[in-house]
């Protein structure tokens, strides 16, 4: 049989069945679910959408549930996890056939739950049709992924994000986000709200910032549906919001307060405010912040820790919106004491053209900056500049372990680059 959207000619005397539908992608999701015997029915399915926080929140949820003895699979930007097996990700949210296959593998491996990132593109393309999520989570939203190859405008972006709440049984949503009414337009699920305001079902209060050598974090208390004291080794208010999402999910799954508190203390996420201990003088971290909203949120948060200086290293991806480059340059120029502009994934563009676009944005400010196109040399320079009390952020690459240049992904992991720089410095000292 074949499924089509338009009339097709089939040779005579064949046994082929032709099924004509309005949208083959939509139909494919239901076919895939049936082909793999509806594996989502054997799992508690948790979908997370939002502009930022999706990846971190998936790991927070997984850690909490696993800590309570609930075997949980994960699907997201960085990887897919089934038990002890880790598989690299190709898309944030897989195509429907791959997704249902992954669900089947998880169910057969004894997973009881799956937590996954749900991108706006996936919702727009019906990748998550064919089943209802048990829980849908909304973290936040700001204009992003808007352009010729993504969403035509912010309204469409919000509409696509909101589709999750017509495809889930229960929604867990950020009550503090100003765009929540648009996200929930047409929702069909029950709701739990979280936030810092008094009206939320789960509220965080008494926030306090933690700063240890090479480590940043935050303490807070929760009130409402869960009363607990939380400590998380990730900085800032946005980490509190991510933690609230996970606490609300874990509470709904029957986890005990002590299990939640323990899990929050232990969780670490690759490439998401990832601390790399290299010095007792300054703090070095790697983060995936690759748009103006994420970078602004990150740098603003780090300012709360009162660094001696805030040093921000980043580049921008090629064959993507030029507007993003101007905006990120302006954000870093305003909030960082020193910006180091370097290369990210230039793809099919000239790296220097991208750097010049970032420079255009930063020149709107009084910010100090240098340009070092080679990312390893840029990191070396950043580390050489580090003084007591400084915070150095390597932004944009996060979990990635490659650099994409003209269609080829070359190995490049910032953790490896840092290690190489430390070794080279040590060897240079020994020769003196």
The pLDDT tens digits of the residues spanning 347-404 come to 999 999 999 999 999 999 999 999 999 999 999 999 999 999 999 999 999 999 999 9
CATH number for position 306: 3.90.190.20
Write the secondary structure of the chain as one string of H (helix), E (strand) and C (coil): CEEECCCCCCCCCCCCCEEECCCHHHHHHHHHHHHCCCHHHHCEEEEEECCCCHHHHHHHHHHHHHHCCCCEEEECCCEEEECCEEEECCCCCCCHHHHHHHHHHHHHCCCCEEEEECCHHHHHCCCCCCCCEEEEEECCCCCCCECCCCECCHHHHHHHHHHHHHCEEEEEEECCCCCHHHHCCCCCCEEEEEECCCCCCEEEEEEEEEEECCEEEEEEEEEECCCEEEEECCCCHHHHHHHHHHHHHHHHCCCCHHHHHHHHHHCCCCCCCEECCCCCCCEEEEECCCCHHHHHHHHHHHHCCCCCCEEEEECCCCCCCHHHHHHHHHHHHHHCCEEEECCCCCECCCHHHHHHHHHHHHCCCCCEEEECCCHHHHHHHHHHHCCCCCEEEEECCCCCCEEEECCEEEECCHHHHHHHHHHHHHHHHHHC
At residue 153, the pLDDT reads: 81
**Last-in-domain residue among 248, 266, 284:** 266
What mean pLDDT is predicted for residues 232-253? Answer: 96
Average pLDDT score over residue span 25-34? 97
In this prediction, residue 418 carries a pLDDT of: 98
Q: How many domains does the chain have?
A: 2
46 plus 163 within the same structural domain? yes
| Owning domain of residue 418 | 274-431
5 within domain boundaries = no
Q: What pLDDT does residue 149 have?
A: 60
Calpha distance 88→82 (Å, rounded): 12
Q: Does any domain span residue 25?
A: no
pTM, to two decimals = 0.86
CATH code assigned at 65: 3.40.1190.10
In a domain, 41, yes or no: yes
Confirm whether 48 is domain-assigned: yes
95 pLDDT higher than 70: yes
């Amino acid at each position: 049989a074949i499924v089509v959207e338009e009339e097709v000619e089939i040779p005579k005397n064949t046994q082929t069945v032709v099924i004509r539908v309005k949208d083959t992608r939509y139909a494919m999701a239901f076919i895939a679910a049936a082909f793999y015997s509806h594996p989502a029915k054997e799992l508690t399915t948790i979908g997370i959408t939002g502009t930022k926080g999706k990846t971190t929140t998936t790991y927070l949820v997984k850690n909490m549930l696993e800590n309570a003895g609930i075997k949980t699979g994960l699907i997201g930007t960085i990887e897919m996890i089934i038990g002890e097996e880790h598989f690299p990700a190709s898309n944030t949210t897989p195509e429907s056939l791959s997704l249902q296959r992954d669900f089947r593998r998880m169910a057969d491996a004894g997973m009881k739950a799956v937590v996954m990132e749900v991108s706006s593109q996936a919702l727009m393309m019906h990748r998550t049709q064919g089943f209802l999520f048990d829980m849908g989570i909304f973290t936040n939203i700001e204009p992003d992924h808007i352009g010729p190859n993504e969403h035509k405008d912010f309204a469409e972006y919000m509409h696509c994000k909101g589709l999750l709440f017509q495809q889930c049984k229960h929604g867990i949503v950020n009550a503090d986000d100003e765009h929540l009414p648009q996200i929930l337009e047409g929702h069909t699920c029950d709701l739990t709200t979280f936030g810092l305001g008094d009206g939320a079902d789960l509220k965080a209060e008494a926030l306090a910032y933690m700063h240890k050598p090479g480590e940043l974090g935050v303490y807070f208390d929760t009130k409402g549906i869960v009363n607990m004291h939380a400590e998380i080794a990730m900085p800032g208010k946005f980490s509190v919001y991510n933690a609230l999402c996970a606490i609300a999910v874990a509470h709904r799954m029957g986890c005990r307060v002590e299990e939640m508190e323990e899990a929050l203390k232990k969780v670490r996420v690759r490439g998401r405010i990832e601390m790399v201990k290299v010095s007792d003088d300054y703090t070095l971290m790697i983060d995936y912040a690759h748009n103006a909203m994420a970078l602004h949120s990150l740098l603003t948060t780090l300012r709360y820790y009162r660094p001696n200086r805030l040093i921000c290293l980043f580049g921008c991806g090629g064959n993507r919106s030029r507007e993003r480059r101007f905006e990120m340059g302006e954000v870093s120029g305003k909030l960082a004491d020193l910006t180091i502009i370097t290369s990210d994934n230039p793809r099919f563009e000239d790296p220097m053209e991208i750097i010049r676009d970032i420079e255009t944005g930063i020149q709107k400010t009084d910010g100090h900056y240098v340009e070092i196109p080679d990312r390893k040399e840029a990191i070396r320079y950043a580390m050489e500049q580090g003084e007591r009390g400084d915070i150095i952020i390597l932004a944009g690459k996060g979990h990635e372990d490659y650099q994409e240049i003209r269609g080829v992904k070359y190995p490049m992991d910032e953790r490896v680059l840092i290690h190489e720089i430390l070794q080279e410095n040590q060897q240079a000292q020994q020769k003196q």
